[in-house]
Structure 1
Amino acid sequence: MASFSLLDLETTIRERARSGDPESWTAKLFAKGMDKAAQKLGEEAVETVIAAVKGDTKAVISESADLLYHWLVVLAIAGISLDDVLAELERRTGRSGIAEKASRPQSG
């Protein structure tokens, strides 16, 4: 199993975003803002789904890596940390999905 974690990736993303390096895709993506980052996240999600439906394991792995990277970029641009998301997942642990969903505030 790899010793590289999503926390490592989050740190790398934040460092590269701050660098302003014109050769860094991450810095360029941050400069383009949330709209572009969210668009890329959506594209990678669709590509991951397509690979999964096709049963293409290698592509699912590759597209999932792209998806996780772009997801962390979107979180960083929004000022949300991976720890924030993990805390929410921890809060939900031990509750059935139905009970958790029912406890959410109702909209509209």
Structure 2
Amino acid sequence: MSETAEILDRLFETIAGRKSADPDSSYTAKLYAKGTSKIAQKVGEEGVELALAAVQNNRDEVISESADLFYHMFVLWADAGVEPSEIYAKLAEREGLSGLVEKASRKT
């Protein structure tokens, strides 16, 4: 496993482990306490902030907002009971496929 994958897996494990933490002492636990809708809202907000940083050609903000998006996306995965290995498997399944072919094969 690459060092990058290990970092992401450690981050996910930390985030998942905060489900039972005290919301007064953990931002992550506070998100879980507020529920799926709030978590999903934060993912959307971070995605928009990342897109705006890209449009503004602000490299430092693209990096920062990408990290924020990863974090909030991992909170969402943990809340939904999704493991990173499931995402990795889906990416591996799509590897080598044309994006247009893959998109056309999806059930709508």
TM-score normalised to structure 1 length: 0.88
Q: Give the corresponding residue for 1:19.
A: 21
Please tell me the residue identity of whatever aligns with 1:59. Answer: E
Please tell me the residue identity of whatever aligns with 1:74. Answer: L
> In structure 1, what is the Cα distance between the partners aligned to 2:94 and 2:102?
7
Q: Which moved more, 1:24-33 or 1:12-21?
A: 12-21
Q: 1:61 aligns with which of 43, 60, 63?
A: 63
| Count of aligned positions | 105
Q: Give the corresponding residue for 1:84.
A: 86
Q: Give the corresponding residue for 1:34.
A: 36
> In structure 1, what is the Cα distance between the partners aligned to 2:11 and 2:67?
10
SS in 2 for 1:85: helix
> In structure 2, what is the Cα distance between the partners aligned to 1:79 and 1:44?
21
Structure 2, gaps ≥5 residues long: none
Say what the alpha-carbon RMSD is for the aligned residues. Answer: 1.5
Tell me the percent identity: 48
Structure 1, gaps ≥5 residues long: none
Deviation (angstroms), 1:21: 4.8
